[in-house]
Amino acid sequence: DQQVKQNSPSLSVQEGRISILNCDYTNSMFDYFLWYKKYPAEGPTFLISISSIKDKNEDGRFTVFLNKSAKHLSLHIVPSQPGDSAVYFCAASGPSSGSARQLTFGSGTQLTVLP
């Protein structure tokens, strides 16, 4: 049962245009969401996050939008650059009955920015 879904395995965008990556979740207990970027042969790198008390968080070219009623979040990259080409993972976190908080990941979207 996938609690975090990224339904688009790949996305191609022209350089300079907007890239929109989407993510859906099913667990209403999730209250913190993150995006990670992964280049080949490297580990995922934290990109941007958002708490469930907000609906938007912006950091430079990257903006994450959260729609709690739809259980949907998206990552906007404007303008897209060739160096943004990577796999993007959506992750969600919620209160844990155990010790540390854990992340539940989506399966990733391969973004290709064409020059």
Partner 1 sequence: DAMVIQNPRYQVTQFGKPVTLSCSQTLNHNVMYWYQQKSSQAPKLLFHYYDKDFNNEADTPDNFQSRRPNTSFCFLDIRSPGLGDAAMYLCATSRDLSASGVSYEQYFGPGTRLTVT
**What count of other Cβ atoms lies within 10 Å of the Cβ of residue 44?**
19
- 44, 77, 85, 111: which one binds partner 1 (CB under 8 A): 44
- Say how far apart CA 23 and CA 75 lie, in whole Å: 8
Q: How far apart are CA 83 and CA 73, in angstroms?
A: 23
Please provide residue 8's backbone torsions phi and psi, each rounded to the nearest 5 degrees: -105, 110
Quick check: helix, strand or coil at residue 84? Answer: helix
For residue 8, the minimal CB distance to partner 1 (Å) is 13
CB 17 → partner 1: shortest distance, Å? 25
**Out of 1, 70, 83, 98, which residue is the one contacting partner 1 (CB under 8 A)?**
98
Name which position in 46, 59, 78, 114 contacts partner 1 (CB under 8 A). 46
Contact residues for partner 1, defined by CB under 8 A: 2, 4, 9, 32, 34, 36, 41-46, 49, 89, 93, 96, 98-108
